Structure 1
Amino acid sequence: MGCCKRTSDKAEVTADPDVAVIGEGQVVMKKQISLFQGVAIIVGIIVGSGIFVSPVGILQNVKSVGMSFVLWVVCGIYNALGAVCYAELGTMIPQSGGEYVYIRRAFGDLASFVCLWIDFVLVCPVGIAAMGLMFSVYLLKPIYPDCEVPELPSRLLGGVITCLLVAVNCVNVKWATKVQVVITISKLIALATIIVIGFYFIAKGETESFANSFEDSDTSAGSIALAFYSGFWAYSGWSYLNFLVDELVDPVKNLPRAIFISMTLVIIVYLMANVAYLGVLSPLQMLSSPAVAVTFANSTLGPLKWLMPILIAISVSGTMNGTALSMSRLFFIGAGNNHLPQVISMINYKRLTPMPSLLTILVLTLIFQNSGDIFYLIEMEGFGFACILVMTFASQVYLRFKEPDLKRPIKVPIALPIVLCVVSFAIVILTFYQKPHESFLALGLVVLGIVLYLICGKWKNKPKTFQSKMDHVTRFIQRLLLVVPPAKPEDLQFE
């Protein structure tokens, strides 16, 4: 993973500030993510494209300003309660891997593989692909002020930024975390600018957008479910620090603190930003804008309007960076449990990073970026995340009965994960009704994963020719990327 080193029985161990060796043939990663960096990672992932795009996604589904604010509050509360549940799980099972680890503990291999596969083919690459396209839209919009950004330059620029961020993560994990802190500060500056300007306009009496705010609201179950996915998108990321628990300083204390601080900050900022948008733009202007924050800047910043797209693009890149940083650890751990090809569980012995895992994310992301439809990708990612939440909350409830004596530094009322599990399941069912094409495509990908699991994971007596070719491919990738197997996860110990 991030900073680890494998030693042989006779190897001479040199001092390395990022590595601790506890015995012959074993590797240890020092805990180096502080509370401040943990908050920066969560806020940096959450506050990305969502607040700059989701206002449109929510508004176009529920059709009214008042109902959109209701959805923003409901989504914020739902995700905050989910984060509280994850705080219990993360302190109860303080291992990197997030939901994958919790589901595996509760329900075993197959269920945890389904979770991993959904993250592998839907949540991670689809999410990064959508964010890469959003990065392009915001950065290129000033060049195409009176028309939509063409697909070709959008896809090309999205691919370039994805490659650049994956390269940073491949070279040095410390660079990735430092980049995340800088980007988080940049995006908070962008949001603060929007909030200050918007409230200034409201103070001058620009309140027309709030008149008859619930008129023509669409409160049908399907519309609310789709609007909920845009809210999911805006708040998604609060679970990602759980993928990095092994690298977090004092996780029992700092994981819940980081989650609580981050979620409180994000909910307040999001609500203020939405009020600020409507202090300057009408609902119709918001719905007709593919880049609402850029339209906002064009109406308010005058000659400095070029600055906002740059800040927003930086913000989106921070979410992409944090997602790649966190999810690469999940795939790394899953491959170590034979749920993905073994080469994905290897590390570059010079850079000490999970390079194969990161490059796998890159390839899948570039494939999905060819769709070019941002909201289609958001709905696909939201469906996958909702499915994972159903399994995660169900595992939390089941572990209360399966392992009642397991130490729980944080213990939420059992009713909370039960309610969240039911709500998440209802959202999944409503999505099948409202968006059957996207839902059945996502379901088909999950079924494909189960088939691959049975063939590659459970089929032990494979033909020697087939296994020989697979081993040959693995050795080729090892030589190409200079990667080696780390110590087994159960052998790793942390300071």
Structure 2
Amino acid sequence: MGRGRAEPSMSPSSTSEKIELKKQITLFQGVSIIVGIIIGSGIFVSPVGILMNVKSVGFSLVMWVICGVYNTLCAVCYAELGASIPQSGGEYIYVKRAFGDFMGFIILWINFLLICPVGIAALSLICCVYILQPLFPDCEIPAMATKLIAICIVCLLIVINGRNVKWATRMQVVITTAKLVALAIVVIIGFIYLGTGDRENFTNSFEGTDYSAGAIALSFYSGFWAYSGWSYLNFLTEELVNPNKNLPRAILISMCIVIVVYLVANIAYLSVLTPVQMLKSTAVAVTFAGQTMGVMAWLIPILIAVSVCGTMNGTALSMSRLFFIGAKNNHMPQFMSMIQYKYLTPMSSLLVILGLTICFQTSNDIWFLIEMEGFGFASVLTMVFAGQVYLRFKEPDLVRPIKVPIILPLVLCLISFAIVILTFYQKPTESYMALCIVGVGAVLYVFGNRWQKKPKVIQSKINFVNQFFQKLLLVLPQDNPDELDWE
């Protein structure tokens, strides 16, 4: 594979080397990406959501394990799909192959508007709340300051991802290490407290448990959000070294690490805080630090902010490749399918993500954004697992280096669909708004893909926009640099 870079000349003849994404993400970096995405704000906030619904310490720990096992099973199914169809684009490619062009576009559109920018916007606002909290201990944090810093953080991450993939993956390794150190501090302190004999919170730990289906489903939703992010490495398959082996290994190693970390972190929290104290807390880790770390309590909010930055960085790194692949399939504007000629990164897709994220950062309701993202992700999972089952019959001879029992994706499809229905019942406003966004996507698909013979006036406008951004960003079509008209 050619690794040379084209010189910054304005002549097509000087760009004769191969323009493409390079295989440079190792197994260790893949694990760091997944762990870095999953361990974000969830473990520092979500314990409240699970405990609030099931109403007992013992069953809340059980739910953390159940949620971890469920997400691991989902990841195993994704590993089969990733090993069988080793193309970047993840679930978009899988659904498109199973159900055709339109359903593939719907998956892409949901990721484009409901999952990627909404998720990054929510995480950036959460990150800034933790950064600013030590500066405003006794008063409300100014909303404008939160939004401005959030924009600056996202801009920095996009610049790093656009400049060099290795910079982004190495930063992800550093951030992942930092957040594991932060959790190690919590765990060590918690187990020291547990070792002193203070085990009151674990006595009769299942007393008062709410075993109703609604309580379990809602607590599952909180855990589901905390574990989300395991699928993103599938978007980077073409840049992963030896993907048939390293993709499933990275997923399984990462999920095992996260389940263990989440379980021991929750035990550590409950070794110091009572269930009542946890339920009154908006950020469990901050309350934990306030009671155990004294003058060093300010360190935890900063480490949480770093942790959340890791999730944003991994999301931008992964999702930009999804939109890049979608544009190559004519499901996004053409300029998004091009690579920056000097840095060999999907700069166009990254800048589109930045623009959409800034739009969503104007929202004052972080939890509204999180619920919108949750609905989108549950919908995507439903279609992915349905497609996986269908592919067993549609393409029985497809080489599957990993092959799970067909009952597994079938059951996961039904569970994911139940989560979608539950979301409509519990959060109708967010769900119907998300459904309207999907409807708009369907209209755009008809206009952009089905309407082939557009009037020359409309087609010329589309061509002008593509050429403008192509020249502005200095991007080239992959493997075909001579198509760029520099004049």
User: How high is the TM-score relative to the length of structure 1?
Assistant: 0.91
Partner of 1:329: 321
3-state SS in 2 of match to 1:183: helix
Map 1:245-324; keep pairs closer than 5 Å.
245-324=237-316
Counterpart among 47, 65, 73 of residue 55 in structure 1: 47
Q: Which moved more, 1:466-475 or 1:139-148?
A: 139-148
Distance change in 2, residues 1:286/1:242 (3 Å): same
Partner of 2:458: 466
Check the 8 A contact 2:79/2:247 in 1, yes or no: yes
Q: What are the Cα deviations for residues 55-110 of structure 1, in whole angstroms up to 9, with x where unaligned? A: 12323333333332232111101100011111111110111111111111111101
Partner of 1:439: 431
Distance change in 2, residues 1:61/1:133 (3 Å): farther
Map 1:102-113; keep pairs closer than 5 Å.
102-113=94-105
Q: Find the aligned partners of 1:230 and 1:149 in 2 and give their Cα distance.
A: 25
Q: What are the Cα deviations for residues 416-447 of structure 1, in whole angstroms up to 9, with x where unaligned? A: 10110011011111111111111111111111
Q: Find the aligned partners of 2:146 and 2:207 in 1 and give their Cα distance.
A: 36
Partner of 1:199: 191
Q: Find the aligned partners of 1:100 and 1:357 in 2 and give their Cα distance.
A: 16
- The yes-or-no answer on 1:380 pairing with 2:355 is no
Partner of 1:138: 130
Partner of 2:395: 403
Counterpart among 408, 422, 435 of residue 414 in structure 2: 422
Distance change in 2, residues 1:148/1:61 (3 Å): farther
**1:209 to partner: Cα distance:** 2.9
3-state SS in 2 of match to 1:142: helix
Check the 8 A contact 1:222/1:431 in 2, yes or no: no
**1:27 to partner: Cα distance:** 3.8
Counterpart among 159, 164, 183 of residue 175 in structure 2: 183
Partner of 1:167: 159
- The yes-or-no answer on 1:64 pairing with 2:56 is yes
Partner of 1:356: 348
Partner of 1:18: none
Map 1:205-224; keep pairs closer than 5 Å.
205-224=197-216
Partner of 2:22: 30
Distance change in 2, residues 1:155/1:63 (3 Å): farther
Q: Find the aligned partners of 1:199 and 1:80 in 2 and give their Cα distance.
A: 26
Counterpart among 473, 478, 485 of residue 486 in structure 1: 478
- The yes-or-no answer on 1:87 pairing with 2:79 is yes
**1:284 to partner: Cα distance:** 2.4
**1:364 to partner: Cα distance:** 1.4
Paired amino acid for 1:104: K
Check the 8 A contact 1:4/1:352 in 2, yes or no: no
Q: Which moved more, 1:248-257 or 1:478-487?
A: 478-487
Paired amino acid for 1:248: L
Partner of 2:443: 451
Check the 8 A contact 1:155/1:372 in 2, yes or no: no
Q: Find the aligned partners of 2:212 and 2:314 in 1 and give their Cα distance.
A: 35
Q: Which moved more, 1:112-121 or 1:145-154?
A: 145-154
Q: Find the aligned partners of 2:459 and 2:233 in 1 and give their Cα distance.
A: 36
Paired amino acid for 2:52: Q
**1:285 to partner: Cα distance:** 2.1
**1:144 to partner: Cα distance:** 2.3
3-state SS in 2 of match to 1:114: helix
Distance change in 2, residues 1:88/1:217 (3 Å): same
Q: Find the aligned partners of 2:368 and 2:59 in 1 and give their Cα distance.
A: 22
Q: Which moved more, 1:51-60 or 1:272-281?
A: 51-60
Paired amino acid for 1:404: P
Distance change in 2, residues 1:356/1:256 (3 Å): same
Paired amino acid for 2:307: S
Q: Find the aligned partners of 1:34 and 1:104 in 2 and give their Cα distance.
A: 27
Distance change in 2, residues 1:448/1:215 (3 Å): farther
Q: Find the aligned partners of 1:75 and 1:403 in 2 and give their Cα distance.
A: 31
User: How high is the TM-score relative to the length of structure 2?
Assistant: 0.93
Q: CA RMSD in A?
A: 2.2
3-state SS in 2 of match to 1:487: coil
Distance change in 2, residues 1:120/1:185 (3 Å): same
Partner of 1:122: 114
**1:279 to partner: Cα distance:** 1.1
3-state SS in 2 of match to 1:460: coil
Q: Find the aligned partners of 2:213 and 2:441 in 1 and give their Cα distance.
A: 30
Check the 8 A contact 1:45/1:323 in 2, yes or no: yes
Q: Find the aligned partners of 2:84 and 2:11 in 1 and give their Cα distance.
A: 34
**1:152 to partner: Cα distance:** 2.5
Check the 8 A contact 1:5/1:486 in 2, yes or no: no
Check the 8 A contact 2:20/2:339 in 1, yes or no: no
**1:339 to partner: Cα distance:** 0.8
Q: Find the aligned partners of 2:50 and 2:115 in 1 and give their Cα distance.
A: 20
Q: Which moved more, 1:35-44 or 1:221-230?
A: 221-230
Q: Which moved more, 1:63-72 or 1:328-337?
A: 63-72
Paired amino acid for 1:355: M
3-state SS in 2 of match to 1:305: helix
Unaligned runs of 5+ residues in structure 1 are 14-23, 489-495
Check the 8 A contact 1:6/1:486 in 2, yes or no: no
Check the 8 A contact 2:19/2:339 in 1, yes or no: no
Q: What are the Cα deviations for residues 463-491 of structure 1, in whole angstroms up to 9, with x where unaligned? A: 21111112212222222222222237xxx
Q: What are the Cα deviations for residues 144-166 of structure 1, in whole angstroms up to 9, with x where unaligned? A: 22344342222222222111111
Check the 8 A contact 2:121/2:357 in 1, yes or no: yes
Partner of 1:17: none
Paired amino acid for 1:364: L
Check the 8 A contact 1:4/1:28 in 2, yes or no: no
Check the 8 A contact 1:3/1:352 in 2, yes or no: no
Q: Find the aligned partners of 1:244 and 1:333 in 2 and give their Cα distance.
A: 10
Q: Find the aligned partners of 2:204 and 2:433 in 1 and give their Cα distance.
A: 39
Paired amino acid for 1:227: S
3-state SS in 1 of match to 2:362: helix
3-state SS in 1 of match to 2:134: coil
Unaligned runs of 5+ residues in structure 2 are 481-487
Distance change in 2, residues 1:126/1:347 (3 Å): same
